[in-house]
Structure 1
Amino acid sequence: MSDLPSDLKYTAEHEWVRAGEPVTVGITAHAAEALGELVYLELPAVGDAVTAGQVCGEIESTKSVSEVFSPVTGTVVEVNDAAVDDPSLVNSDPYGAGWLLRVDVEGDAALLSPEEYAALVD
């Protein structure tokens, strides 16, 4: 899986985190491909608390409904309204325009390196 961005950290549940203040969160291309054509996103509201490893949203595709797990603990400071309005952005650009949340993080999270995530999904 050589197309994994090396500047991101990952979870076993197929979410990614881009460092920053706040961090940016999304789902991986692997998850987007497995889900198929996305048709609906339900995400937490700005100001909501999220906890690492806990469900924070839902993604619906033409194939199935899946939960979104927060990779970090903190407070949601921004939701990607463009992706909520057009979930296909997550399919077409999961590491760019298809990001899901921005979170002010409290503490550290146990995340995978690109190499560890690649080994998990290969």
Structure 2
Amino acid sequence: MVNKEKKKDATLIVADVLSQTDFGRGIVKIDPEVMKELGIMSGDVVRIFGSRVTHARVMPSSPTDVGSRKIRMDKIIRGNSKVRTGEKVRIRPVEAVSAKRVVLAPQDQRIR
């Protein structure tokens, strides 16, 4: 998936997911006020700038997070962006563009 960046960005504090049902789904949950500020909706894609850059789909966080400027992400997304809970990351909305092709390759050449 290729992404076209939009202009606005926000700095948020990394927090762990509240529910393990969110684990491994490739989503981050952010403060609904920040979503409004950036002009993004549920399911939109954001670029996450930590020590490394990664992408995730956005969902609104729980009402307890309103005004907290937290971004809730699972261990996989934190690992991909090389950040820890309590650290700050910058996010920027991007426009997701469909891939022209996808290449699948086996992990092990012994598989036939």
TM-score by length of 1: 0.31
| TM-score normalised according to structure 2 size | 0.33
* Greater length-normalized contact order (CA 8 Å, ≥ 6 residues apart): 2
